[in-house]
Structure 1
Amino acid sequence: MDIFGSFQALGIEGGTLLMFVMLLGLLVSGIPLAFVTLLVALVFALGWFGPMVVPLITSRVYSFVSSFVFVSVPMFVLMAAILDRSGIARDLFDAMKLVGGRLRGGVAIQTIVVAVILAAMSGIIGGEVVLLGLVALPQMLRLGYDKHLAIGVVCAGGALGTMVPPSIVLIIYGLTANVSVGDLFTAAFVPGLMLAGFYVAYVLIRAWLNPSIAPVPAHDETVTTSEKLRLAKGLVLPMAVVAGVLGSIYGGIASVTEASAVGVAGVLLSTIVRGEFTFGLLKGAALQTLQTVGMIVWIGVGASALVGVFNLMGGIKFVSALISGISDDPTTILLFMMLLLFVLGMFLDWVGIALLTMPIFVPIIVSLGYDPVWFGVLFCMNMQVSFLSPPFGPAAFYLKSVAPPDISLGTIFRSLLPFIGLQVLAVAILIMAPWITGR
């Protein structure tokens, strides 16, 4: 009996179910997502069509990794890796004392502001959470801040790299959905600041209702004019890098890919000016970039292959018809998609979610009359929740790696619940008021 093509006897319904069960079973066994998707893609390519279809799969994978915009991903990751190894973030946080002053909750607010600036410099959340966990968390705990508030601010603020341009999530979505990354950056800017504003408002309200959770620093020292000037210098280089990256994109001077190179040059120049540049720093940043981008590429290769096979099977049409048949109301279908993304975000990495679901979801969104750029911002806002939500919220694990030993993972997840609520509120507002994205 010819084994090739034998899967076709299952039909698209049975094939889809078997594919889902295989994916779930292999993921539970602990095999990385990239290898799981590649293995399942290969099994179904051979079992459904035979070996002749393999070249079609490889051509789909090549079209993903050969995109010019994809070059910006390692550039922005390299920026984040250099920031990890420099003192720029620490000086930036110290400079924010000029903003926070004696405002109740001021240190938490300056942490959120620093998180926004760091997000605008790199767009990588892991490094931001770790940096803030090393710089901001100890200071808030030393000043007597409620540990749940301090933990939530660090994790939620660090995850803003998902929303604030230049976001790697937006870049991957743009590649997958075939929409302009520049348009995505423009559309995500205000929603990203809106979410940061929600965090600031939450801190201020909590501090007003219960002053003991965010004490005002004592008048134990007076900041002199010379000290203010020294602190202000910590703002110059980061703001110059942000202006160079975002200014060149929004000003039409450079594409996203070219702007990412501008950013790397700006961060490198900053480390040279500060006297921190060494070849050891550059080598460590390059190796970290290779590791991170390698993971993204392998997940992309596996997901592209799997979606390619599933498309050839007719699976995407089947799932699209299934989702569209849920209701005649476009809003109901949209809410179902958001729920599905929310559930997937509890267990899968955002790269895998984007590459596996967007080829199915985006055509449905377009057929319903929605703007794919707006949906991309909505997707990124939904992924904000996935970074914090248990059981596998990566922001919690990043913070745990640098938090004091007495702070457990359970404590971190409990601290994140109010901020998850704010993120869900932001998703709801984006659905009800799409004009916030300017679309």
Structure 2
Amino acid sequence: MILEWYFALGLLISLVVGQMMLGVPVAIAFMAANLLCAYLFMGDTFAFYQVVDNSTSLITRFQLAPVPFFILMGALFFYSGIAQRVFTTLDLLLGRIPGRLCFLTVGGGALFSTLTGSSMANTAMLGSMMVPEMERRGYHWRMSLGPILGTGGLAMIIPPSTLGVLLATVAGLDVGRFLIAGILPGLVLGLLYTLVIVGQVWRNPSYAPQYEVAPVPLSEKLWAALVNLVPMGFVVFMVVGLILLGIATPTESAAFGVLSILILMAAFRVLSYRALHDALLSTVKIGGMVFFIILNSSIFSQLLAYSGASSGMLRFAASFDVNTVTVLLFMFIALLFLGMFMDPVSMILITTPIFFPLAQTLGINPLWFGLFVLICLEMSQTTPPFGLLLYVMLGVAPKGTTLRKVAIAAAPYLGCDAILIVVMYVFPSLVLYLPSLL
């Protein structure tokens, strides 16, 4: 069946979105839409054989190999208890700094996001660990909820980012360069979050009341840092450093990252059968889901191209005389809107076949645009009323916490994300400098 490009585009997207609004799982929604549209567009049951034939090559690409490794890294880091050791040490080092628990959240969360790559896991862990302690110490809810929601999103852009690998793979970007591109923007974002906390404590000291902290000798602090924090640098080097030095591919560095976590588990004497079992089981569950989604999204992209929807949409967009900033603004609004009822993976799968070719037509650097999309995804997850991270936080927050409180606490950190996008646009080298060294 031959359809006009806009009918084909509308049919594909409405079938997926409609099913998800009815509660159908993302992967199943894509699979059903793919099979139905393949039959309609090709007009023969041969279409089903074509879909199956393409599926094998789609999920056996070498570029996807880092995904299960990064998932396993995060699972090992969590189930081994090493995450708790890191937070305890950072807490020891901060001493009596005003708002110390907020800074602990940003520092520990940034490090945890570097080693896990999962924003949901990051937010859930920080919320369950830090919010009860902040509440006990008399912290205002703005100070206890806000930094966690902000820092939880750092996992999306600081490598290794599982979502970054997925986006790079679907968009056809160099995975290693794309991961490295997120380092400097991630550090800038962490700095902006820190400035927000300093400003809030300065304006309202009662928001983060000081309390007595038992004095700890400098020698004990240095020893704790040496034992519990310095080894984390070893993991970061194995994952990021080997890529920067050109010694390893992203897949090889991800494997080295898993090896480094296993070495630390053995050194800390937490390498147990139980920890390995739980980590591997979690990896298989999450990895299987991700690969099934990638398979169906890739077929979705092929159908967009086969039906002429991709080329038709590009011709339509190019017919308008608008500048790059206007197009980016429309994309920004669209991603925030989709974030109201979709998870980041679904948004990547639907928007990438449309947005990336359009950005390329406008001459936007693909690495820069990929990071722009990731930051928009992060913002969409903390944008009311349906941001996913807002509900993750509600799930671990104290009883009586409302969505309104969570959204208000997140607002300053959404502002930081918006500032980062503007800085990236004015100074694109913030994104492109490190990848240029590879």
Give TM class, smaller chain. Answer: over 0.9
SS of the counterpart of 1:81?
A: helix
Matched, 1:347 2:341: yes
- Aligned equivalents of 1:425 and 1:61: distance in 2? 40
Q: Which residue of 1 aligns with 2:35?
A: 42
Distance 1:381 1:132, change over 3 A: same
- Aligned equivalents of 1:84 and 1:222: distance in 2? 29
Q: Which residue of 2 aligns with 1:426?
A: 420
Matched length: 431
Per-residue deviation, 1:155: 1.9
**Superimposed CA distance per residue, residues 106-146 of structure 1 (whole angstroms, 9 cap, x where no aligned partner):** 22112111111112212112222222123222222222211
Q: Which residue of 2 aligns with 1:379?
A: 373
- Aligned equivalents of 1:409 and 1:184: distance in 2? 34
**Kept in 1: contact 2:394–2:402 (CA 8 A):** yes
**Kept in 2: contact 1:117–1:242 (CA 8 A):** no
- Aligned equivalents of 1:69 and 1:417: distance in 2? 36
- Aligned equivalents of 2:352 and 2:94: distance in 1? 41
Matched, 1:398 2:395: no
Per-residue deviation, 1:225: 4.0
Identical positions, percent: 29
- Aligned equivalents of 1:116 and 1:140: distance in 2? 18
Q: Which residue of 2 aligns with 1:298?
A: 292
- Aligned equivalents of 2:386 and 2:257: distance in 1? 31
- Aligned equivalents of 1:106 and 1:54: distance in 2? 58
274, 283, 286: which is aligned to 1:280? 274
207, 214, 227: which is aligned to 1:221? 214
**Kept in 2: contact 1:162–1:169 (CA 8 A):** yes
**Kept in 2: contact 1:111–1:154 (CA 8 A):** yes
6, 11, 31: which is aligned to 2:4? 11
Q: Which residue of 2 aligns with 1:356?
A: 350
Per-residue deviation, 1:315: 0.6
227, 230, 239: which is aligned to 2:233? 239
SS of the counterpart of 1:300?
A: helix
Per-residue deviation, 1:230: 4.8
**Pairwise CA RMSD:** 1.9
260, 263, 266: which is aligned to 2:260? 266
Per-residue deviation, 1:226: 5.1
Matched, 1:188 2:182: yes
- Aligned equivalents of 2:383 and 2:319: distance in 1? 29
Q: Which residue of 2 aligns with 1:436?
A: 430
- Aligned equivalents of 2:232 and 2:128: distance in 1? 19
SS of the counterpart of 1:275?
A: coil
24, 28, 41: which is aligned to 2:21? 28
Q: Which residue of 1 aligns with 2:159?
A: 165
Matched, 1:126 2:120: yes
- Aligned equivalents of 1:432 and 1:239: distance in 2? 31
- Aligned equivalents of 1:143 and 1:177: distance in 2? 46
Q: Which residue of 1 aligns with 2:312?
A: 318
Between 259-268 and 127-136, report the one with greater CA deviation. 127-136
- Aligned equivalents of 1:290 and 1:391: distance in 2? 32
Which residue identity is paired with 1:281? A
Per-residue deviation, 1:328: 3.4
- Aligned equivalents of 1:149 and 1:92: distance in 2? 21
Which residue identity is paired with 1:24? V
- Aligned equivalents of 2:222 and 2:315: distance in 1? 62
- Aligned equivalents of 2:391 and 2:284: distance in 1? 21
Q: Which residue of 1 aligns with 2:436?
A: none
- Aligned equivalents of 2:77 and 2:103: distance in 1? 21
Per-residue deviation, 1:194: 0.9
**Kept in 1: contact 2:170–2:298 (CA 8 A):** no
Per-residue deviation, 1:295: 1.8
Distance 1:126 1:133, change over 3 A: same
Per-residue deviation, 1:335: 2.0
- Which consecutive residues of structure 1, in runs of 5 or more, have no partner in the other structure? none
**Superimposed CA distance per residue, residues 254-282 of structure 1 (whole angstroms, 9 cap, x where no aligned partner):** 11111111111111222222222211211
- Aligned equivalents of 1:20 and 1:185: distance in 2? 29
Which residue identity is paired with 1:378? F
Distance 1:309 1:398, change over 3 A: same
- Aligned equivalents of 1:346 and 1:63: distance in 2? 33
SS of the counterpart of 1:96?
A: helix
321, 326, 338: which is aligned to 1:327? 321
- Aligned equivalents of 2:169 and 2:12: distance in 1? 25
**Kept in 2: contact 1:155–1:388 (CA 8 A):** yes
Distance 1:158 1:409, change over 3 A: same
**Kept in 2: contact 1:71–1:257 (CA 8 A):** yes
**Superimposed CA distance per residue, residues 75-102 of structure 1 (whole angstroms, 9 cap, x where no aligned partner):** 1111111122122112211211354222
- Aligned equivalents of 2:395 and 2:77: distance in 1? 18
**Superimposed CA distance per residue, residues 274-306 of structure 1 (whole angstroms, 9 cap, x where no aligned partner):** 222211211111111111112211221221222
Which residue identity is paired with 2:421? V
Per-residue deviation, 1:189: 0.8
**Kept in 2: contact 1:91–1:231 (CA 8 A):** no
